[in-house]
């Protein structure tokens, strides 16, 4: 599209709304009007009416005491109704609930969302003490075990596009970049990623792939454990728990394949 066409069809108010959405998604802590204006490179007067309108339409929430704005779940709830996210939810929720009940551990399913990693589904552990990761949470792909697994199993074009957009990767020197590429190759070869969580060193995660490497539907199923729930001899999850996670991921993959085949074959 030419510059003239872009100018002809430009919608300034909509552009500002998109800028606000992206800024608040990248900066999840509540922000003041002045902080948002600075973040999107506009004046407070330019965004005032946009903020009011987005709040009135429930896209933003505003703390009545501090006056700070943050994203509501409206966009996330809208995205849940869009395929393939909705198909993944239909297939995964009952299987993940069974996995949580079987292992006594929380689990969550993640997908790539632009250059970030988003938690699409969370299944709570039945234990009195359990980890809760809010659905819709967005993390840096390079700082999440699920993100590294998804990145390792993306095709080369998608992988490079994600890395080019990642500010952390941009700050890496050549040796760090090569180390990352080597790590991704290892993760892809072994088919899983296990390590302490970036959220807390006291949380251990085991992430395994849903779907096929470089496939159209790829997600990560991650099981979470506190340190006291690990195998005390090896400080890792027991093999039986990891096998249950792999089987759950395989079951979700099979259900998704059947659903997609049915969708294609249905006139």
3-72 carries CATH number 1.10.10.10 = yes
Instruction: Indicate the average pLDDT of the chain.
Output: 86
pLDDT of residue 264: 39
pTM greater than the 0.85 cutoff: no
pLDDT of residue 267: 38
pLDDT of residue 167: 86
Q: What is the DSSP letter of 58?
A: T
User: Is residue 13 helix, strand or coil?
Assistant: helix
CATH 1.10.10.10 domain extents, the chain: 3-72
Write the pLDDT tens digit of every residue in 15-27.
999 999 999 988 8
Burial code (b: 16+ CB inside 10 Å, e: under 16) for 181-204 equals eeebeebbeeebbbeebeeeeebb
Q: Whole-angstrom Cα distance, residue 127 to residue 104?
A: 6
**Which CATH number is correct for 79-265, 3.30.450.40, 3.40.640.10, 3.40.50.10490, 3.40.50.300?**
3.30.450.40
Q: Whole-angstrom Cα distance, residue 199 to residue 139?
A: 10
Average pLDDT over residues 83-111: 89
Q: Whole-angstrom Cα distance, residue 166 to residue 26?
A: 12
CATH 3.30.450.40 domain extents, the chain: 79-265
Residues with Cβ within 8 Å of residue 57, at least 6 apart in sequence:
74
Instruction: Name the residue with higher pLDDT: 231 or 50.
Output: 50
Write the pLDDT tens digit of every residue in 149-178.
999 999 888 899 899 888 889 899 999 999
């Amino acid at each position: 599209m030419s510059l003239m066409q872009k100018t002809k069809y430009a919608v300034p108010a909509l552009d500002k709304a998109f800028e606000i959405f992206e800024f608040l998604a990248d900066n999840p802590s509540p922000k003041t009007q002045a902080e948002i204006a600075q973040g999107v490179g506009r004046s407070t007067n330019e965004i005032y009416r946009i903020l009011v309108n987005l709040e009135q339409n429930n896209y933003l929430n505003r703390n009545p005491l501090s006056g700070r704005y943050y994203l509501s779940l409206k966009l996330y709830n809208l995205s849940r109704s869009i395929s393939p996210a909705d198909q993944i939810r239909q297939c995964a929720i009952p299987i993940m609930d069974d996995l949580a009940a079987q292992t006594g551990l929380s689990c969550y399913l993640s997908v790539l969302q632009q250059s970030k990693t988003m938690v699409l589904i969370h299944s709570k552990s039945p234990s009195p003490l359990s980890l809760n990761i809010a659905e819709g949470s967005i993390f840096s792909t390079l700082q999440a075990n699920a993100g590294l697994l998804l990145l390792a199993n993306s095709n080369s074009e998608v992988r490079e596009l994600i890395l080019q957009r990642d500010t952390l990767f941009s700050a890496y020197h050549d040796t760090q970049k090569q180390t990352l590429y080597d790590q991704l190759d290892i993760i892809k070869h072994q088919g899983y990623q296990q390590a302490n969580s970036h959220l807390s060193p006291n949380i251990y995660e085991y992430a395994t792939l849903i779907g096929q490497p470089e496939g159209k539907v790829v997600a990560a199923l991650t099981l979470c454990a506190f340190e006291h729930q690990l195998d005390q001899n090896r400080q890792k999850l027991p093999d039986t728990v990891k096998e249950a996670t792999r089987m759950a991921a395989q079951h979700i993959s099979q259900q998704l394949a059947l659903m997609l085949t049915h969708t294609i074959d249905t006139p």
